[in-house]
Amino acid sequence: MEEARNPARQLLNLAAEGCVKPEHKPVSFPFLSEAPGFVQYLKEERGLQPSSVLHYRYGLRRFDSYLTRIGAHLAEVSPALLAAFVVDQAPKLSRAGRSNLCGVVRVFLRYCHRERILSEDLSAAVEMPQSYRLADIPRAITWEQVRSMLQVVDRRTVRGRRDYAILLLLVTYGLRAHEVVKLTLDDFDWQQERFQVPARKAGHWSAYPLATVVAEAIIDYLQHGRPQTTDRHLFFRVLAPHRPITNAAVSSSVADYLRKAGIHVHRPGAHTLRHTCVQRLIDAEFPLKTIGDYVGHRSPQSTEIYSKVALSALREVAQGDGVAL
């Protein structure tokens, strides 16, 4: 027996020696040859975490790629070139992304001037894009599109029953995804026909009358879809293990149903239906303060953005003759 073990041990040792994990090459940081101490500066002087340093690498790779594309070097950077860089990158990024990129380049240019890599401090030439509080138009959809979205939900399935109830909660009350996933059985008072949202973004809770169509959808899910569990959360994953549904799953489901209904909207998700709820109230000419209280806005300014949108064909729905939501 021992004679058989020895060859086996030798084979295992040889295999172990040949399975040495290859060393991962460190990811190169832009401008290492021109500014070799910049990474150390970020870590030691600015005290940045590795994730933040990677953020700088991402931004500077954009800057480096742009210089390479136009055939310029770091020593040739000028205010005009920096302005052209911002103009070139702006359409490719979100408003926050543009500001972050400009911030990264400004820090890098200040460092280069301090270290005499550049003779002039050009950081001020990287102008931050102007951000206006009411600049973005909400991504609401029409009430007719809401009907189309609800019609593509297969309510014969467990997932369909669950998602139909979630969609109605989102579009009727303007709830956020995280507010839906935190709902529990204890938040519903069936005798008084009302429910509460206890954990709102503004730090307060809201109580709502329970619309009949929403109540019927939730009851249908409770009776024919929700798994048997001692967990008091309302909505659960369809597949085992049956854990409470997540924010990402809610937004992903909304985007999926919008796609199936052929509805195209920028960044589809749970907030699409929240915006739709607010826009419906705007079109019904409710005061902004009332609307803000209804959807749990932290301040009246959060609601003002919707008032920029012209009144649309949703008005007749708000006045009646529509799907009762």
237 catalytically annotated = no
Catalytic residue among 176, 182, 200, 275: 176
Max distance between CA atoms of the chain, in angstroms, equals 91
Question: Are 117 and 35 spatial neighbours (Cβ–Cβ below 8 Å)?
Answer: yes
Catalytic residue among 155, 271, 275, 280: 271
Q: Of 46, 93, 42, 39, nearest to 66 (Cα)?
A: 93
The rounded radius of gyration (Å) of the Cα atoms in the chain is: 28
Helix 158-173, helix 212-224: angle, nearest 10 = 150
Catalytic residue among 162, 274, 275, 280: 274
176 catalytically annotated = yes
Catalytic residue among 201, 264, 289, 315: 201
306 catalytically annotated = yes
Per DSSP, the three-state class of 197 is: strand
| C-alpha torsion sign, points 294, 199, 309, 152 | negative
Q: Of 140, 165, 169, 135, nearest to 153 (Cα)?
A: 165
CA distance 187 to 82: 54
Give the tokens for residue 139.
Answer: 């991504």
CA distance 235 to 222: 9
69 catalytically annotated = no
CA distance 251 to 245: 11
Catalytic residue among 62, 161, 275, 297: 297
For 269, which DSSP code? S
Active-site amino acid positions: 176, 201, 271, 274, 297, 306
